[in-house]
Amino acid sequence: MTTYTNETASRTAIVTGASGSVGQAIARRLAEDGLAVVVNYAHGEQEAHKTARQITAGGGTAIAAQANVADAGEFAALFAAAEQAFGGVDVLVNNAGVSRLGTIAGATDDDYDAIFDVSTRGTLHGLRLAASHLRDAGRVVNLSSTSLAATTPGLGLYMAAKAAVETLTRSAAKELAPRGITVNAIAPGAIASPMFFEGKTEEQIARVTQAHPAGRLGSVDEIAAVVSLLVTCDADWISGQVIRVNGGAA
């Protein structure tokens, strides 16, 4: 763990999977909003530390911390690191996820384990830790996917994992409501990111883009903006919801 700090922020956020493009955008946006940010990574150490340094260069506060969210002990250590550095945790963004393109018929046990371990088990670990460690009036934002609403071919296992995330979101929202903690999910549509481009041909990318009502892909900053809203006091009465950030695609 490396600390990059200028000033002590009043609130702290953990963003999992923040070495990827969506997580990086969320971490940067929350730092701009005045939160101290724990930039989590399982892999992609250089990108995570780069993001933390960018936050500091912009006047914010961050630590970069490695943890595999699929491992309960490592996730717990991530919370401990945040509490040691900043005194507590107010916001958890369960962004880490794994996607593999393929049919149900061709899916392997390894595919299942890879997708569910991070996307579903990791979210469960985060919610469980949030219940015991998040300060009152905290915020949890889970990442789902619009592919679930659109029933996108080739993403059966991924959609199943995200369906579980959405169910966990609704249940946790009710359980944590007495403490003023809100729990919501964001379901991005087609976003211009490495995860979207991976395994697709230029023709497939063009077809998805042209078929979109807006005629374009979304941006990672547009996802980060919705996270930013959900963690503010203006969103006190929004909980247990799945917000499909997709430009009207589904």
Active-site position among 4, 41, 112, 158: 158
Torsion angle in degrees (nearest 10) through CA of 35, 21, 124, 230: 40
From 95, 231, 240, select the one nearest 162 (Cα to Cα).
95
Residues in the chain: 250
pLDDT digits (tens, 9 = 90+) for 195-246: 777 777 888 888 778 778 888 888 999 999 999 999 999 999 999 999 999 9
* Domains of the chain, each with CATH number or no CATH: 2-245 (3.40.50.720)
Average pLDDT across the chain, whole number: 92
Tell me, what DSSP letter sits at residue 177? G
> What pLDDT does 1 receive?
53
Mean of the pLDDT values across residues 191-197?
77
Active site residue 158: yes
**The pLDDT of residue 7 is above 60:** no
Q: Work out whether the CA dihedral 56, 61, 64, 69 comes out positive or negative.
A: negative
Determine the Cα–Cα distance for residues 174 and 140; give it in Å rounded to an integer.
13
Mean of the pLDDT values across residues 124-128?
98
pLDDT higher at 186 or 2? 186
Rounded to the nearest 5 percent, the helix, strand and coil shares of the chain are: 50, 20, 30
> What pLDDT does 6 receive?
46
